[in-house]
Structure 1
Amino acid sequence: MGYSVAVVGATGNVGREMLAILAERGFPADEVVALASRRSMGVEVSYGDKTLKVKALENFDFTGTDICLMSAGGTVSKEWSPRIGAQGCVVIDNSSTWRTDPDVPLIVPEVNADAVAGFTKKNIIANPNCSTAQLVVALKPLHDAFTIKRVVVATYQSVSGAGKDAMDELFSQTRAVFTASEMETKKFPKRIAFNLIPQIDVFMEDGSTKEEWKMMVETKKILDPKIKLTATCVRVPVFVSHSEAVNVEFEQPVTADEARALLARAPGCLVIDKHEPGGYITPVEATGEDATYISRIREDSTVDNGLSFWCVSDNLRKGAALNSVQIAELLVNRKLISPKKQAA
């Protein structure tokens, strides 16, 4: 008998992607339920070749549900995840609410799968920030081999990371440029069409944004608390897929060829690195794919044991929905949970 799975926030970008990936990967579910707020009741969403009608989260009983994929935002998760967990359902949460909680494991399966066993404290598992997820997939094999001291990363993050309204804003502003129409700016602090915005999330006291702070604390929690990391996070006029320019300083010497060979064998990584025009991956090519693509691997002569590279990944998939489903697969494959209906 298979598992019972609920997707909360099923009408959003990530929620719809979660449903698609559950079907794509053949997750062993006998029942999949789409949940959202009351105003979305009755909305139809796709699950493979099936159509599901959205039910209201407020009225749903989770006592017979095994896994809840939560993608309804931090406010909803803060209220509902503990309540759902208390009913014996494991919550895999995509918001930032639980990532720094010491009793909640923060998981990227290719990086720290063993930490998932800690979910029993609260029945909640956190999914990392989208920009962190792809970064640590690339850093993990390098850290294991050469020990990372410091990371400097600049992100180029697509508007889908800010939700459907942000994607609509990029579309409408782009159209306004070509039609000389009035341009509205609602979702972002400045125009995003044909522009870059060096701010994601709110500013903190030290001048960093919260997105930059998240990358630092989450990388430490997932990979190694000794790693020093500084980030500059930039929103770019791209619909889907985040890109990152990464500079790493190691304790041990490393060559570009060694790094390239190591990353080519690493789970979740795909190296596309030819020293020719177009011999690298861009966001358009990564969209709809599962891998973290790595290109432009080269030695940095300005620091001892330095390396630079470019990485790109679909933020709606590896940065959110795919990683959540992979965590659910981890629970099943390691026999950390059993279907309640079978147990009954």
Structure 2
Amino acid sequence: MHIERIDPHDLDLDTADAMAEVVRASDAAGGVPIPPVTGPTLLHAARHGWDGTPAGALWVLRDGDRVVGRVHADLPWRDNTDSFYYRGVVHPDVRRRGGGRALHDALLEVAAEAGRTKVYTGAFEGTDGIPALAALRYEPVGTNVIRRISLHDTQPGLWDRLHAQAAAKAGDYELVRMVGPTPVEQLEDMVALFAIINDAPSEDADKEDDHWTADRVAAYDTAMAARRQTVYRVIARHRETGEWAGHSVLCVDEFAPATGFQEDTSVVRSHRGHGLGLLMKTEMLRWIGQERPEVGATDTWNAVGNHHMIAVNELLGARVVARYVTHRLTR
């Protein structure tokens, strides 16, 4: 076996398809019920990232000509510039033959050259990744619980009833729907909404807040469009002042639209206590259910300490499908 570093812009679809097959085989072996990733999704994620920045480093592990492993690494440049994030996987058929270690050695070398002292990755509970990271002396720093809401099988009328209850409590607010990139004239307004995520519970005390600007919001929108991710937003606005009070964001991967991915649902601190989280999420579920009947479910990741949002999701009918443990290696 040998490893090969690839420039993200040189990644071809055949290789990306092979990488996706490795990820799917690994998830199946670990019993992880995550929607199957596609080659085009991996291809565009490597080229565009979350803000138009391509992957900081990309490797494949080959057994002869066959792709049997992959690593995708990101090197933040706006904030947390001491950190290095990667996601790696080796096909179950070739584990414990040194390929994973070779990939790990390569990525640590790149992290060191870039001056990154904190290396982050993770694994799903119950998979080989947890003991493997422990053997490499990584320490767990946080757990996210993945919950799934069925858009087809949830109790009929549930979201309508919850929406009516939330609307009665939030009479001073109106909801605005938005699809795709933010209009230029609203970019500055979106900055405060994206920045609310810094209030979300985190078990990693060393992580810096994300610094949001209008340019960063625009870069996120551009990258998601390039990745063929359709972004749906429900935004709450205070009727009297016109202030944007919160938003809920959901993405549909057009290469695999069967499961939508819930991103931020956040409320500005001064507007909390009015049931806006529940109001926006029920609006989103009813909207997607009507607009995109091919989307059968939505997945959301919550830190175990995010008790308020967990309670909202469970009220909506979410069920736990997996737990993902983030690990850190400090060098």
Give the TM-score normalised by the residue count of structure 2: 0.29
| Bigger strand fraction | 2
Give the TM-score normalised by structure 1: 0.28
